[in-house]
Structure 1
Amino acid sequence: MNQPLMNRLLLTGAAGGLGRALRARLAPLARTIRLADIAPIADPAPHEEIVTCDLADAGAVDRMVQGCDGIVHFGGVSVEMPFPPILQANILGLYNLYEAARRHGQPRILFASSNHTVGFWKQTDRLGPDTTLRPDSLYGVSKVFGEALARMYFEKFGQETALVRVGSATPAPEDHRMLASWLSHDDLLSLIEAVFRVERLGCPVIWGASANTQGWWDNSHLDWLGWTPRDNAETFRAKIEATVPRPAPDEAVALYQGGIFTEYPIYQEKDA
Protein backbone atom coordinates (compact mmCIF):
# COMPACT_ATOMS: atom_id res chain seq x y z
CA MET A 1 0.00 0.00 0.00
CA ASN A 2 1.31 3.45 -0.95
CA GLN A 3 -1.38 5.62 0.63
CA PRO A 4 -2.97 4.97 4.03
CA LEU A 5 -6.50 3.65 3.82
CA MET A 6 -7.67 5.82 6.72
CA ASN A 7 -6.85 8.94 8.64
CA ARG A 8 -7.28 7.36 12.09
CA LEU A 9 -7.61 3.66 12.97
CA LEU A 10 -8.64 2.60 16.46
CA LEU A 11 -7.09 -0.56 17.90
CA THR A 12 -8.78 -1.70 21.10
CA GLY A 13 -7.10 -4.25 23.35
CA ALA A 14 -3.80 -2.74 22.27
CA ALA A 15 -2.04 -3.88 25.46
CA GLY A 16 -3.07 -7.51 24.92
CA GLY A 17 -1.18 -10.23 23.11
CA LEU A 18 -2.62 -9.65 19.65
CA GLY A 19 -2.56 -5.90 20.06
CA ARG A 20 1.11 -5.93 20.96
CA ALA A 21 1.91 -8.29 18.09
CA LEU A 22 0.18 -6.18 15.44
CA ARG A 23 0.50 -2.65 16.80
CA ALA A 24 3.53 -1.55 14.79
CA ARG A 25 2.47 -3.50 11.70
CA LEU A 26 -0.82 -1.60 11.42
CA ALA A 27 1.01 1.69 10.81
CA PRO A 28 0.66 1.63 6.97
CA LEU A 29 -3.14 1.44 7.23
CA ALA A 30 -3.69 4.89 8.74
CA ARG A 31 -1.94 8.18 9.34
CA THR A 32 -2.72 7.84 13.03
CA ILE A 33 -3.21 4.67 15.07
CA ARG A 34 -5.22 5.22 18.24
CA LEU A 35 -4.25 2.56 20.79
CA ALA A 36 -6.80 1.87 23.51
CA ASP A 37 -6.87 -0.44 26.51
CA ILE A 38 -7.82 -0.46 30.18
CA ALA A 39 -4.20 -1.48 30.90
CA PRO A 40 -1.23 0.87 30.48
CA ILE A 41 0.33 1.26 27.02
CA ALA A 42 3.88 2.51 26.90
CA ASP A 43 6.15 4.32 24.45
CA PRO A 44 3.83 5.71 21.77
CA ALA A 45 5.41 6.28 18.37
CA PRO A 46 4.90 9.64 16.63
CA HIS A 47 1.96 8.26 14.64
CA GLU A 48 0.27 6.72 17.72
CA GLU A 49 -2.28 8.07 20.22
CA ILE A 50 -2.80 6.42 23.61
CA VAL A 51 -6.27 6.20 25.17
CA THR A 52 -7.04 4.54 28.49
CA CYS A 53 -10.58 3.20 28.36
CA ASP A 54 -12.82 0.88 30.34
CA LEU A 55 -15.23 -0.55 27.77
CA ALA A 56 -18.00 -0.60 30.38
CA ASP A 57 -17.79 3.22 30.63
CA ALA A 58 -20.06 4.51 27.87
CA GLY A 59 -18.69 8.05 27.98
CA ALA A 60 -15.09 6.88 27.77
CA VAL A 61 -15.94 4.60 24.83
CA ASP A 62 -17.67 7.47 23.04
CA ARG A 63 -14.55 9.63 23.37
CA MET A 64 -12.37 6.70 22.28
CA VAL A 65 -14.33 6.19 19.05
CA GLN A 66 -14.76 9.85 18.13
CA GLY A 67 -12.71 10.85 15.09
CA CYS A 68 -11.88 7.29 13.99
CA ASP A 69 -12.38 6.02 10.43
CA GLY A 70 -12.03 2.33 11.30
CA ILE A 71 -11.94 0.07 14.36
CA VAL A 72 -10.05 -3.17 14.97
CA HIS A 73 -11.77 -4.47 18.09
CA PHE A 74 -9.52 -6.85 20.00
CA GLY A 75 -10.62 -5.44 23.36
CA GLY A 76 -12.46 -7.27 26.12
CA VAL A 77 -12.10 -10.57 27.95
CA SER A 78 -10.35 -13.12 25.73
CA VAL A 79 -10.53 -16.26 27.90
CA GLU A 80 -13.09 -18.07 30.01
CA MET A 81 -13.81 -16.21 33.26
CA PRO A 82 -16.65 -15.70 35.72
CA PHE A 83 -19.62 -14.01 34.09
CA PRO A 84 -19.42 -10.52 35.69
CA PRO A 85 -16.19 -9.43 33.92
CA ILE A 86 -17.39 -11.00 30.66
CA LEU A 87 -20.67 -9.12 31.03
CA GLN A 88 -18.92 -5.80 31.59
CA ALA A 89 -16.30 -6.03 28.83
CA ASN A 90 -17.76 -8.28 26.13
CA ILE A 91 -21.46 -7.51 26.35
CA LEU A 92 -21.98 -4.05 27.87
CA GLY A 93 -18.64 -2.92 26.46
CA LEU A 94 -19.49 -4.06 22.94
CA TYR A 95 -22.88 -2.36 23.10
CA ASN A 96 -21.10 0.84 24.12
CA LEU A 97 -18.73 0.47 21.16
CA TYR A 98 -21.54 0.06 18.63
CA GLU A 99 -23.51 2.93 20.06
CA ALA A 100 -20.43 5.13 19.87
CA ALA A 101 -19.81 4.03 16.29
CA ARG A 102 -23.43 4.84 15.39
CA ARG A 103 -23.05 8.34 16.81
CA HIS A 104 -19.71 8.99 15.12
CA GLY A 105 -20.28 8.20 11.46
CA GLN A 106 -20.29 4.38 11.58
CA PRO A 107 -16.59 3.62 11.09
CA ARG A 108 -16.08 0.12 9.70
CA ILE A 109 -15.38 -2.46 12.41
CA LEU A 110 -13.36 -5.65 12.47
CA PHE A 111 -14.81 -7.57 15.42
CA ALA A 112 -12.62 -10.30 16.85
CA SER A 113 -15.18 -13.03 17.41
CA SER A 114 -13.95 -16.53 18.16
CA ASN A 115 -13.88 -20.18 17.18
CA HIS A 116 -15.41 -20.74 20.62
CA THR A 117 -18.78 -19.72 19.15
CA VAL A 118 -18.75 -23.17 17.52
CA GLY A 119 -16.56 -25.05 19.99
CA PHE A 120 -18.84 -28.06 20.48
CA TRP A 121 -18.60 -29.10 16.84
CA LYS A 122 -16.35 -32.13 16.41
CA GLN A 123 -12.94 -31.82 14.80
CA THR A 124 -14.20 -34.17 12.08
CA ASP A 125 -16.83 -31.58 11.05
CA ARG A 126 -16.26 -29.01 8.31
CA LEU A 127 -18.07 -25.73 8.87
CA GLY A 128 -19.30 -22.95 6.60
CA PRO A 129 -20.42 -19.44 7.54
CA ASP A 130 -24.05 -20.45 8.20
CA THR A 131 -23.36 -23.33 10.54
CA THR A 132 -25.37 -23.58 13.76
CA LEU A 133 -23.60 -21.86 16.64
CA ARG A 134 -22.52 -24.19 19.45
CA PRO A 135 -20.64 -22.07 22.01
CA ASP A 136 -18.40 -23.92 24.43
CA SER A 137 -18.10 -21.39 27.28
CA LEU A 138 -19.44 -18.16 28.70
CA TYR A 139 -16.69 -16.48 26.70
CA GLY A 140 -18.02 -18.18 23.56
CA VAL A 141 -21.56 -17.09 24.42
CA SER A 142 -20.36 -13.49 24.71
CA LYS A 143 -18.96 -13.72 21.18
CA VAL A 144 -22.28 -15.10 19.92
CA PHE A 145 -23.89 -12.02 21.46
CA GLY A 146 -21.30 -9.84 19.75
CA GLU A 147 -22.04 -11.32 16.34
CA ALA A 148 -25.78 -10.88 16.88
CA LEU A 149 -25.32 -7.27 18.01
CA ALA A 150 -23.16 -6.49 14.99
CA ARG A 151 -25.71 -8.05 12.65
CA MET A 152 -28.53 -6.02 14.18
CA TYR A 153 -26.57 -2.77 13.80
CA PHE A 154 -25.89 -3.70 10.17
CA GLU A 155 -29.50 -4.54 9.37
CA LYS A 156 -30.94 -1.54 11.22
CA PHE A 157 -28.32 1.15 10.67
CA GLY A 158 -26.00 -0.13 7.91
CA GLN A 159 -23.01 -0.43 10.25
CA GLU A 160 -20.45 -2.62 8.45
CA THR A 161 -18.58 -5.25 10.47
CA ALA A 162 -16.29 -8.16 9.67
CA LEU A 163 -17.20 -10.97 12.08
CA VAL A 164 -13.82 -12.70 12.32
CA ARG A 165 -14.01 -16.01 14.19
CA VAL A 166 -10.38 -16.05 15.25
CA GLY A 167 -8.82 -19.49 15.60
CA SER A 168 -5.43 -19.70 17.33
CA ALA A 169 -3.63 -16.43 16.56
CA THR A 170 -0.16 -17.26 17.84
CA PRO A 171 3.31 -16.81 16.33
CA ALA A 172 3.34 -20.53 15.55
CA PRO A 173 1.00 -23.48 16.24
CA GLU A 174 1.71 -24.98 19.64
CA ASP A 175 -0.11 -28.31 19.66
CA HIS A 176 -1.96 -30.81 17.48
CA ARG A 177 -5.27 -28.92 17.61
CA MET A 178 -3.62 -25.77 16.31
CA LEU A 179 -2.58 -27.59 13.14
CA ALA A 180 -6.19 -26.90 12.14
CA SER A 181 -7.04 -23.68 14.00
CA TRP A 182 -3.84 -21.63 13.57
CA LEU A 183 -4.02 -18.07 12.23
CA SER A 184 -0.60 -16.57 11.56
CA HIS A 185 0.03 -12.95 12.38
CA ASP A 186 0.92 -12.31 8.74
CA ASP A 187 -2.41 -13.73 7.57
CA LEU A 188 -4.31 -11.78 10.23
CA LEU A 189 -2.62 -8.58 9.12
CA SER A 190 -3.49 -9.22 5.48
CA LEU A 191 -7.09 -9.92 6.52
CA ILE A 192 -7.30 -6.60 8.36
CA GLU A 193 -5.97 -4.86 5.26
CA ALA A 194 -8.56 -6.60 3.06
CA VAL A 195 -11.44 -5.70 5.40
CA PHE A 196 -10.64 -2.00 5.25
CA ARG A 197 -9.68 -1.96 1.57
CA VAL A 198 -12.76 -3.59 0.04
CA GLU A 199 -15.34 -1.10 -1.28
CA ARG A 200 -18.38 -2.84 0.18
CA LEU A 201 -18.06 -5.07 3.26
CA GLY A 202 -21.49 -5.76 4.72
CA CYS A 203 -21.44 -8.02 7.77
CA PRO A 204 -19.75 -11.29 6.74
CA VAL A 205 -18.66 -14.19 8.89
CA ILE A 206 -14.95 -14.81 8.28
CA TRP A 207 -13.15 -17.85 9.63
CA GLY A 208 -9.91 -16.57 11.12
CA ALA A 209 -7.51 -19.32 10.09
CA SER A 210 -4.52 -19.67 7.82
CA ALA A 211 -4.45 -21.97 4.79
CA ASN A 212 -4.04 -25.05 6.97
CA THR A 213 -4.11 -28.43 5.26
CA GLN A 214 -5.94 -29.84 8.29
CA GLY A 215 -8.38 -26.91 8.51
CA TRP A 216 -11.99 -27.22 9.69
CA TRP A 217 -13.49 -24.05 8.21
CA ASP A 218 -14.64 -23.05 4.73
CA ASN A 219 -14.07 -19.45 3.57
CA SER A 220 -15.01 -20.08 -0.05
CA HIS A 221 -17.88 -17.58 0.29
CA LEU A 222 -15.32 -14.75 0.56
CA ASP A 223 -13.81 -14.65 -2.92
CA TRP A 224 -15.06 -11.06 -3.27
CA LEU A 225 -13.01 -9.95 -0.24
CA GLY A 226 -9.67 -10.48 -1.93
CA TRP A 227 -8.06 -12.18 1.08
CA THR A 228 -5.88 -15.22 0.48
CA PRO A 229 -4.12 -16.60 3.56
CA ARG A 230 -0.66 -17.87 2.68
CA ASP A 231 0.68 -19.64 5.76
CA ASN A 232 0.03 -23.30 6.57
CA ALA A 233 0.37 -24.93 9.99
CA GLU A 234 1.51 -28.07 8.21
CA THR A 235 4.97 -26.48 8.12
CA PHE A 236 5.16 -27.09 11.87
CA ARG A 237 3.71 -30.60 11.96
CA ALA A 238 7.01 -32.46 12.25
CA LYS A 239 8.15 -30.29 15.16
CA ILE A 240 4.85 -30.65 17.01
CA GLU A 241 4.69 -34.41 16.53
CA ALA A 242 8.27 -34.71 17.79
CA THR A 243 7.86 -32.48 20.85
CA VAL A 244 4.17 -32.40 21.88
CA PRO A 245 2.49 -35.57 23.21
CA ARG A 246 -0.57 -36.51 21.18
CA PRO A 247 -3.75 -36.42 23.31
CA ALA A 248 -5.97 -39.48 23.63
CA PRO A 249 -8.79 -39.57 21.03
CA ASP A 250 -11.47 -39.06 23.71
CA GLU A 251 -9.84 -35.99 25.27
CA ALA A 252 -11.63 -32.72 24.61
CA VAL A 253 -8.57 -31.17 22.98
CA ALA A 254 -8.63 -33.95 20.39
CA LEU A 255 -12.40 -34.29 20.05
CA TYR A 256 -13.94 -30.81 19.90
CA GLN A 257 -13.01 -27.78 17.85
CA GLY A 258 -13.12 -25.69 21.03
CA GLY A 259 -10.65 -27.97 22.78
CA ILE A 260 -10.36 -27.58 26.53
CA PHE A 261 -12.90 -24.73 26.57
CA THR A 262 -15.60 -27.42 26.33
CA GLU A 263 -14.45 -28.73 29.73
CA TYR A 264 -14.37 -25.48 31.66
CA PRO A 265 -16.93 -25.18 34.48
CA ILE A 266 -19.37 -22.31 34.77
CA TYR A 267 -17.30 -20.17 37.10
CA GLN A 268 -19.00 -18.31 39.90
CA GLU A 269 -17.54 -15.07 41.21
CA LYS A 270 -16.28 -16.83 44.36
CA ASP A 271 -14.24 -19.20 42.17
CA ALA A 272 -12.29 -16.39 40.52
Structure 2
Amino acid sequence: MERILITGAAGIVGTLMRPRLRKDGRILRLLDIAAVEPSSDDEVITASVTDAAAMAEACVDVDAVIHLGGHSRENSWEEILSVNINGTQVVLDAARAAGVPRVVLASSNHAAGFRPIDAELPADSSPRPDTYYGVGKAAMEALGSLYHSRFGMDVIVIRIGSCFPDPLKLGKRGLTTWLSPDDGARLFEACLSAPSPGYRVIWGVSNNTRRIYSLDEARALGYEPKDDAESYADQLADAPDPSGVAAEYVGGPFCTAPLGHYNPL
Protein backbone atom coordinates (compact mmCIF):
# COMPACT_ATOMS: atom_id res chain seq x y z
CA MET A 1 0.00 0.00 0.00
CA GLU A 2 1.45 3.37 -1.05
CA ARG A 3 1.17 6.23 1.45
CA ILE A 4 1.46 9.87 0.30
CA LEU A 5 1.71 12.71 2.82
CA ILE A 6 0.14 15.97 1.64
CA THR A 7 0.91 19.05 3.72
CA GLY A 8 -1.42 22.01 3.38
CA ALA A 9 -4.14 19.54 2.46
CA ALA A 10 -6.96 21.97 3.32
CA GLY A 11 -5.63 24.72 1.06
CA ILE A 12 -6.77 25.58 -2.45
CA VAL A 13 -4.45 23.23 -4.29
CA GLY A 14 -4.71 20.52 -1.64
CA THR A 15 -8.49 20.59 -1.79
CA LEU A 16 -8.43 20.31 -5.59
CA MET A 17 -5.86 17.51 -5.61
CA ARG A 18 -7.21 15.26 -2.85
CA PRO A 19 -10.05 13.65 -4.81
CA ARG A 20 -7.92 13.45 -7.94
CA LEU A 21 -4.99 11.71 -6.25
CA ARG A 22 -7.05 9.09 -4.43
CA LYS A 23 -6.85 5.66 -6.02
CA ASP A 24 -6.82 1.98 -5.15
CA GLY A 25 -3.66 0.93 -3.39
CA ARG A 26 -2.90 4.44 -2.08
CA ILE A 27 -3.49 6.08 1.28
CA LEU A 28 -3.45 9.86 1.53
CA ARG A 29 -2.15 11.21 4.82
CA LEU A 30 -3.50 14.77 5.07
CA LEU A 31 -1.81 17.38 7.26
CA ASP A 32 -2.99 20.94 7.88
CA ILE A 33 -3.69 23.34 10.72
CA ALA A 34 -7.23 23.73 9.32
CA ALA A 35 -9.93 21.09 9.32
CA VAL A 36 -9.83 18.56 6.50
CA GLU A 37 -12.79 16.45 5.41
CA PRO A 38 -11.27 13.07 4.62
CA SER A 39 -12.59 10.13 2.70
CA SER A 40 -12.90 6.83 4.56
CA ASP A 41 -9.38 5.73 3.56
CA ASP A 42 -7.55 8.98 4.37
CA GLU A 43 -5.43 9.63 7.45
CA VAL A 44 -5.64 13.12 8.98
CA ILE A 45 -3.11 14.97 11.13
CA THR A 46 -3.94 18.42 12.48
CA ALA A 47 -0.60 20.18 12.84
CA SER A 48 1.64 22.90 11.46
CA VAL A 49 4.53 22.26 9.13
CA THR A 50 6.62 24.21 11.63
CA ASP A 51 6.05 21.55 14.33
CA ALA A 52 9.09 19.26 14.10
CA ALA A 53 7.65 16.55 16.34
CA ALA A 54 4.38 16.44 14.41
CA MET A 55 6.18 16.34 11.09
CA ALA A 56 8.43 13.52 12.31
CA GLU A 57 5.31 11.51 13.18
CA ALA A 58 3.62 12.43 9.91
CA CYS A 59 6.53 11.12 7.83
CA VAL A 60 6.58 7.63 9.36
CA ASP A 61 5.87 4.92 6.74
CA VAL A 62 5.46 7.49 3.97
CA ASP A 63 6.51 6.81 0.37
CA ALA A 64 6.46 10.43 -0.81
CA VAL A 65 5.61 13.91 0.45
CA ILE A 66 3.72 16.54 -1.52
CA HIS A 67 4.52 19.77 0.31
CA LEU A 68 1.78 22.35 -0.27
CA GLY A 69 1.78 23.81 3.26
CA GLY A 70 2.50 27.47 3.93
CA HIS A 71 1.12 30.91 3.20
CA SER A 72 -0.22 30.92 -0.36
CA ARG A 73 0.08 34.67 -0.94
CA GLU A 74 2.21 37.60 0.16
CA ASN A 75 2.51 38.03 3.91
CA SER A 76 4.81 39.68 6.42
CA TRP A 77 8.48 38.76 6.35
CA GLU A 78 8.13 37.19 9.79
CA GLU A 79 5.33 34.89 8.62
CA ILE A 80 7.08 33.94 5.36
CA LEU A 81 10.28 33.17 7.26
CA SER A 82 8.54 31.16 9.97
CA VAL A 83 6.05 29.16 7.92
CA ASN A 84 7.22 29.05 4.30
CA ILE A 85 10.99 28.91 4.78
CA ASN A 86 11.52 27.33 8.21
CA GLY A 87 8.47 25.13 7.68
CA THR A 88 9.92 23.74 4.46
CA GLN A 89 13.18 22.91 6.22
CA VAL A 90 11.23 21.13 8.97
CA VAL A 91 9.33 19.09 6.35
CA LEU A 92 12.46 18.16 4.42
CA ASP A 93 14.37 17.20 7.55
CA ALA A 94 11.51 15.08 8.84
CA ALA A 95 11.33 13.32 5.49
CA ARG A 96 15.10 12.76 5.53
CA ALA A 97 15.06 11.33 9.04
CA ALA A 98 12.18 8.99 8.19
CA GLY A 99 13.86 7.78 5.01
CA VAL A 100 11.19 9.17 2.69
CA PRO A 101 12.72 8.81 -0.77
CA ARG A 102 10.84 11.55 -2.63
CA VAL A 103 9.50 15.03 -1.91
CA VAL A 104 7.52 17.22 -4.30
CA LEU A 105 7.70 20.92 -3.42
CA ALA A 106 5.04 23.39 -4.55
CA SER A 107 6.95 26.49 -5.60
CA SER A 108 5.50 29.33 -7.64
CA ASN A 109 6.00 31.50 -10.70
CA HIS A 110 6.64 34.27 -8.15
CA ALA A 111 10.03 32.75 -7.38
CA ALA A 112 10.93 34.05 -10.84
CA GLY A 113 8.47 36.94 -10.87
CA PHE A 114 10.93 39.56 -12.10
CA ARG A 115 11.99 37.47 -15.07
CA PRO A 116 11.03 39.32 -18.28
CA ILE A 117 8.23 37.59 -20.14
CA ASP A 118 9.66 35.32 -22.81
CA ALA A 119 8.08 32.94 -25.30
CA GLU A 120 9.53 29.86 -23.60
CA LEU A 121 10.98 30.57 -20.16
CA PRO A 122 12.98 27.51 -19.03
CA ALA A 123 11.78 25.93 -15.81
CA ASP A 124 15.19 26.15 -14.17
CA SER A 125 15.61 29.89 -14.76
CA SER A 126 17.41 31.30 -11.74
CA PRO A 127 15.17 32.95 -9.14
CA ARG A 128 14.11 36.59 -9.47
CA PRO A 129 11.42 36.82 -6.77
CA ASP A 130 8.80 39.56 -6.85
CA THR A 131 7.65 39.49 -3.19
CA TYR A 132 8.56 38.08 0.22
CA TYR A 133 6.32 35.20 -0.84
CA GLY A 134 8.51 34.73 -3.92
CA VAL A 135 11.64 34.84 -1.76
CA GLY A 136 10.12 32.09 0.37
CA LYS A 137 9.58 29.95 -2.72
CA ALA A 138 13.12 30.61 -3.93
CA ALA A 139 14.38 29.48 -0.52
CA MET A 140 12.19 26.38 -0.82
CA GLU A 141 13.86 25.55 -4.12
CA ALA A 142 17.32 26.01 -2.61
CA LEU A 143 16.45 23.82 0.36
CA GLY A 144 15.19 21.13 -1.98
CA SER A 145 18.46 21.26 -3.91
CA LEU A 146 20.44 21.02 -0.67
CA TYR A 147 18.53 18.00 0.62
CA HIS A 148 18.92 16.21 -2.70
CA SER A 149 22.64 16.91 -2.94
CA ARG A 150 23.40 16.13 0.71
CA PHE A 151 21.11 13.18 1.31
CA GLY A 152 20.23 11.77 -2.11
CA MET A 153 16.48 12.43 -1.84
CA ASP A 154 14.56 12.79 -5.07
CA VAL A 155 13.20 16.35 -4.97
CA ILE A 156 10.95 17.81 -7.65
CA VAL A 157 10.09 21.52 -7.48
CA ILE A 158 6.93 22.63 -9.30
CA ARG A 159 6.76 26.33 -10.12
CA ILE A 160 2.97 26.54 -10.23
CA GLY A 161 1.39 29.26 -12.33
CA SER A 162 -2.13 29.41 -10.88
CA CYS A 163 -4.24 26.39 -9.97
CA PHE A 164 -7.94 27.15 -9.74
CA PRO A 165 -11.06 25.45 -11.12
CA ASP A 166 -10.91 27.95 -13.99
CA PRO A 167 -8.60 30.84 -14.98
CA LEU A 168 -11.26 33.57 -14.82
CA LYS A 169 -10.29 34.81 -11.35
CA LEU A 170 -6.99 36.20 -12.66
CA GLY A 171 -8.40 37.88 -15.76
CA LYS A 172 -6.38 37.61 -18.94
CA ARG A 173 -3.26 36.77 -16.95
CA GLY A 174 -4.94 33.47 -16.13
CA LEU A 175 -4.93 32.53 -19.81
CA THR A 176 -1.15 32.33 -19.48
CA THR A 177 -0.63 30.91 -15.99
CA TRP A 178 -3.49 28.42 -15.53
CA LEU A 179 -2.86 24.90 -14.31
CA SER A 180 -6.19 23.11 -14.51
CA PRO A 181 -6.99 20.86 -11.55
CA ASP A 182 -7.03 17.80 -13.81
CA ASP A 183 -3.66 18.72 -15.31
CA GLY A 184 -2.42 19.42 -11.79
CA ALA A 185 -3.24 15.85 -10.83
CA ARG A 186 -1.55 14.57 -13.99
CA LEU A 187 1.53 16.57 -13.09
CA PHE A 188 1.68 15.35 -9.49
CA GLU A 189 1.22 11.76 -10.67
CA ALA A 190 4.13 12.21 -13.06
CA CYS A 191 6.26 13.57 -10.21
CA LEU A 192 5.36 10.62 -8.01
CA SER A 193 6.03 7.95 -10.64
CA ALA A 194 9.04 9.22 -12.63
CA PRO A 195 11.97 6.87 -11.98
CA SER A 196 14.96 8.42 -10.16
CA PRO A 197 14.33 12.07 -11.08
CA GLY A 198 17.05 13.46 -8.82
CA TYR A 199 16.56 17.21 -8.38
CA ARG A 200 14.29 18.86 -10.94
CA VAL A 201 12.60 22.22 -11.33
CA ILE A 202 9.55 22.22 -13.61
CA TRP A 203 6.76 24.59 -14.51
CA GLY A 204 3.25 23.73 -13.37
CA VAL A 205 0.93 24.98 -16.11
CA SER A 206 -1.51 23.54 -18.59
CA ASN A 207 -0.82 23.51 -22.31
CA ASN A 208 -2.16 27.04 -22.67
CA THR A 209 -2.09 28.70 -26.07
CA ARG A 210 -0.71 31.85 -24.42
CA ARG A 211 1.72 30.19 -22.02
CA ILE A 212 5.21 31.64 -21.67
CA TYR A 213 6.57 28.67 -19.72
CA SER A 214 8.49 25.73 -21.11
CA LEU A 215 6.82 22.35 -20.62
CA ASP A 216 9.85 20.38 -21.80
CA GLU A 217 11.11 19.72 -18.28
CA ALA A 218 7.72 18.50 -17.01
CA ARG A 219 7.15 16.37 -20.10
CA ALA A 220 10.52 14.72 -19.48
CA LEU A 221 8.96 13.32 -16.28
CA GLY A 222 5.94 11.97 -18.16
CA TYR A 223 3.52 14.90 -17.82
CA GLU A 224 1.08 15.32 -20.71
CA PRO A 225 -1.33 18.23 -20.15
CA LYS A 226 -4.72 18.05 -21.82
CA ASP A 227 -6.28 21.42 -20.96
CA ASP A 228 -5.92 24.92 -22.42
CA ALA A 229 -7.09 28.14 -20.77
CA GLU A 230 -7.92 29.49 -24.20
CA SER A 231 -11.28 27.76 -23.94
CA TYR A 232 -12.19 30.55 -21.46
CA ALA A 233 -10.89 33.42 -23.60
CA ASP A 234 -14.34 34.47 -24.85
CA GLN A 235 -15.49 35.01 -21.26
CA LEU A 236 -12.56 37.38 -20.73
CA ALA A 237 -12.94 39.34 -23.96
CA ASP A 238 -13.93 42.49 -22.06
CA ALA A 239 -11.28 42.16 -19.36
CA PRO A 240 -8.43 44.69 -19.55
CA ASP A 241 -5.12 43.59 -20.99
CA PRO A 242 -2.16 43.63 -18.59
CA SER A 243 -0.15 46.82 -18.94
CA GLY A 244 3.03 48.39 -17.62
CA VAL A 245 5.15 46.28 -15.27
CA ALA A 246 2.36 43.69 -15.04
CA ALA A 247 2.74 43.05 -18.77
CA GLU A 248 6.55 42.95 -18.72
CA TYR A 249 7.33 40.42 -16.00
CA VAL A 250 6.33 36.87 -15.10
CA GLY A 251 4.98 37.96 -11.71
CA GLY A 252 2.45 40.35 -13.24
CA PRO A 253 0.77 42.62 -10.66
CA PHE A 254 2.75 41.02 -7.82
CA CYS A 255 5.75 43.00 -9.10
CA THR A 256 4.17 46.24 -7.90
CA ALA A 257 2.10 45.00 -4.94
CA PRO A 258 3.16 46.32 -1.50
CA LEU A 259 5.71 44.08 0.18
CA GLY A 260 4.55 42.27 3.28
CA HIS A 261 0.82 42.76 2.77
CA TYR A 262 -1.70 40.08 1.87
CA ASN A 263 -2.43 40.21 -1.86
CA PRO A 264 -5.73 38.60 -2.90
CA LEU A 265 -4.75 38.32 -6.58
Q: What TM-score bracket applies, with the shorter chain setting the length? A: over 0.9
Could you tell which deviates more after superposition, 257-266 or 162-171?
257-266
Q: Return the alpha-carbon distance in structure 2 between the equivalents of residues 239 and 63 of structure 1.
A: 47
Does 2:11 correspond to 1:9? no
Partner in structure 2 of residue 95 of structure 1: 89
Partner in structure 2 of residue 225 of structure 1: 221
Partner in structure 2 of residue 62 of structure 1: 56
Which aligned pairs between 1:1-272 and structure 2 lie closer than 5 A?
Answer: 7-28=2-23, 30-42=25-37, 44-124=38-118, 126-174=120-168, 175-242=171-238, 244-247=239-242, 249-250=243-244, 252-267=245-260
Amino acid at match of 2:78: P
Where structure 1 has 5 or more consecutive residues not aligned to the other structure, the ranges are 1-5
TM-score of the aligned structures, taking structure 1 as reference length:
0.90
Cα pair distance change 1:117/1:29, threshold 3 Å: farther
- Deviation (angstroms), 1:108: 1.1
Contact kept, 8 Å, 1:14 with 1:20, in 2: the verdict is: yes
Cα pair distance change 1:228/1:268, threshold 3 Å: closer
Cα pair distance change 1:245/1:268, threshold 3 Å: closer
- Deviation (angstroms), 1:267: 2.6
* Structure 1 residues 100-122: Cα deviation after superposition (integer angstroms, max 9, x where no partner): 11111123111100000111123
Local SS of the residue matching 1:66: coil
Amino acid at match of 1:220: D
Contact kept, 8 Å, 1:77 with 1:86, in 2: the verdict is: yes
- Deviation (angstroms), 1:12: 0.9
Partner in structure 2 of residue 3 of structure 1: none
Local SS of the residue matching 1:177: helix
Local SS of the residue matching 2:258: coil
TM-score of the aligned structures, taking structure 2 as reference length:
0.92
Q: Return the alpha-carbon distance in structure 1 between the equivalents of residues 221 and 184 of structure 2.
A: 14
Q: Return the alpha-carbon distance in structure 2 between the equivalents of residues 30 and 79 of structure 1.
A: 34
Give aligned-pair identity as a percent.
38
Q: Return the alpha-carbon distance in structure 2 between the equivalents of residues 29 and 107 of structure 1.
A: 21
Could you tell which deviates more after superposition, 50-59 or 120-129?
120-129
Q: Return the alpha-carbon distance in structure 2 between the equivalents of residues 235 and 149 of structure 1.
A: 37
Cα pair distance change 1:107/1:99, threshold 3 Å: same
Cα pair distance change 1:173/1:223, threshold 3 Å: closer
